[in-house]
């Protein structure tokens, strides 16, 4: 919960560290991680690699840095990267894919985040003097802009088959991959095994203050470590970031199921309100999107009115509101959010 007793549903990034995380920070054994001497960072990286069934991992400052480091480590400047047209990398990462990694983004539409393998096949043009070299395919799981939707292991496998057949690598922005694993009740390795490398965030549903992990082969992580350094992401006593990450992997993964149950409750409640449309099929994890186009409000007007009722949310495009459940949001807060949406809609009706 944020200060002032707002029900803060803007993002799972607003989560605060648990007492156990704060204790772990206080007692972490530290060293200079640029010299490879921080034992807590090493433990977290080993744990992350083991959880994903990969050889090695690298702690980075943010999800955006994780994606950028991974793009740089998976492809050479001037090469082509296939991105999902609503992906976080394409929409929200300041164009780092082009500006810094120097890659040509080639976007494809998808069904809730899952590419049709035939579309991927068609996008990979034959080697030709006129064409950029295709290097990489990226998937996002869960998919943020589609509403926290899951790309199932089978769907990943189908894309992986096409990528492999053409000598391309497959990378997953798995910022919320543990949400996908918990929702489908499968080991997270079931997702990770179909991609060459991936990242996941500590600072979202897992409640850590800072950090993401890039995970893959030892060779890839060595390149990623160097690319992290060129981006200024080499950290010194980073054990204070890693310590809560270890707590998160051990204690905060299973509870994501509560966030999903609360998101479902919230979505069903909001879907009963006249004038608000929710696509319940998309509510698969901790994100709820609802369409308010019939209310005829411009820009942030709905969000401002919700805030007056003590609930914080974000606009997601012009007529879609996003609410995200997370640690600290209980059933009663979801109830309060439903009541607030209903009250805003009622006020609008009364005041024309």
Where does this chain bind ligand TLP (CB under 6 A)?
A: 11, 13, 62-64, 67, 88, 92, 140, 144, 173, 175, 201, 203, 212
CB of 73 to ligand TLP, least distance (A): 16
Long-range contacts of 87-91 (CB under 8 A, 24+ apart): 87/138, 87/140, 87/143, 87/145, 87/173, 88/63, 88/140, 88/144, 88/145, 88/173, 88/175, 89/138, 89/140, 89/173, 91/145
DSSP secondary structure code for residue 326 in this structure = -
Cα separation, 348 vs 250, in Å, equals 46
Shortest distance in whole angstroms from residue 316 CB to ligand TLP: 9
CB nearer ligand TLP, residue 42 or residue 88 = 88
Of 18 and 67, which CB lies nearer to ligand TLP in the complex structure? 67
Least Å distance between CB 63 and ligand TLP?
2
Nearer to ligand TLP, 153 or 345 (CB): 153
In the complex, the smallest distance separating the C-beta of residue 178 from ligand TLP, rounded to whole angstroms, is: 12
Q: Judging by DSSP bridges, how do beta strands 287-291 and 320-324 pair with one another?
A: antiparallel
Nearer to ligand TLP, 64 or 155 (CB): 64
C-beta nearest to ligand TLP: residue: 63
Output 70 or 160, the one with its CB closest to ligand TLP.
70
For ligand TLP, give the closer residue by CB, 62 or 325. Answer: 62
Residues 226 and 232: their CA atoms lie apart, in Å, by 10
Place of tokens 């030709």: 128
Beta carbon nearer to ligand TLP, 227 or 345: 227
Shortest Å distance, C-beta 10 to ligand TLP: 7
Which of residues 124 and 210 has its CB atom nearest to ligand TLP in the complex? 210
60 three-state secondary structure: strand
Burial 182-201 (b: 16+ CB within 10 A, else e): bbbeeebebbbebbbbbbbb
At 350 the three-state DSSP class reads: helix
At closest approach, how far in Å is the CB of 144 from ligand TLP? 4
Minimum distance from CB of 34 to ligand TLP (Å)? 21
Q: What distance in Å separates the CA atoms of residue 212 and residue 174, rounded to the nearest whole number?
A: 10
Min separation Cβ 124 and ligand TLP, Å = 24
3-state secondary structure of 34: helix
Q: Do 250 and 84 meet the contact criterion of CB atoms below 8 Å apart? A: no
């609360």: which residue's tokens? Answer: 262
Q: Is the dihedral of CA 206, 208, 210, 216 positive or negative?
A: negative
């Amino acid at each position: 919960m944020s200060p002032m007793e707002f029900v803060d549903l803007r993002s799972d990034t607003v989560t605060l560290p648990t007492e156990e995380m704060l204790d772990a920070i206080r007692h972490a054994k530290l060293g200079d991680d640029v010299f490879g001497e921080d034992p807590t960072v090493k433990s977290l990286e080993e744990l992350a690699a083991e959880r994903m069934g990969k050889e090695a991992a690298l702690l980075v400052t943010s999800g955006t840095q994780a994606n950028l480091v991974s793009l740089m480590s998976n492809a050479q400047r001037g090469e082509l990267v296939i991105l999902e047209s609503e992906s976080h990398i394409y929409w929200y990462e300041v164009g780092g894919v082009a500006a810094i990694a120097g890659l040509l983004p080639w976007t494809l539409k998808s069904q809730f985040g899952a590419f049709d393998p035939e579309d991927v096949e068609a996008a990979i043009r034959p080697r030709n003097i006129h064409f950029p070299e295709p290097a990489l395919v990226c998937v996002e799981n869960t998919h943020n802009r589609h509403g926290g939707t899951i790309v199932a292991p089978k769907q990943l496998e189908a894309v992986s088959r096409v990528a492999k057949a053409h000598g391309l690598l497959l990378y997953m922005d798995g910022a919320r991959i543990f949400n996908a694993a918990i929702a489908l009740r499968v080991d997270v390795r079931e997702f990770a095994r179909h991609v060459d490398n991936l990242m996941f965030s500590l600072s979202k549903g897992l409640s850590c203050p800072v950090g993401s992990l890039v995970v893959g082969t030892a060779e890839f992580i060595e390149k990623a470590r160097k690319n992290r350094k060129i981006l200024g992401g080499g950290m010194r006593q980073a054990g204070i970031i890693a310590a809560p990450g270890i707590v998160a992997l051990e204690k905060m993964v299973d509870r994501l199921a509560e966030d999903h149950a609360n998101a479902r409750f919230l979505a069903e409640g909001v879907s009963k309100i006249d004038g608000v449309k929710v696509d319940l099929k998309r509510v698969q994890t901790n994100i709820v999107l609802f369409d308010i186009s019939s209310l005829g409000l411009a820009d942030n007007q709905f969000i401002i009115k919700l805030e007056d009722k003590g609930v914080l949310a974000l606009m997601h495009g012009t007529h879609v509101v996003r609410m995200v459940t997370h640690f600290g949001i209980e059933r009663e807060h979801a109830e309060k959010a439903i009541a607030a949406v209903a009250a805003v809609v009622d006020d609008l009706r009364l005041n024309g």
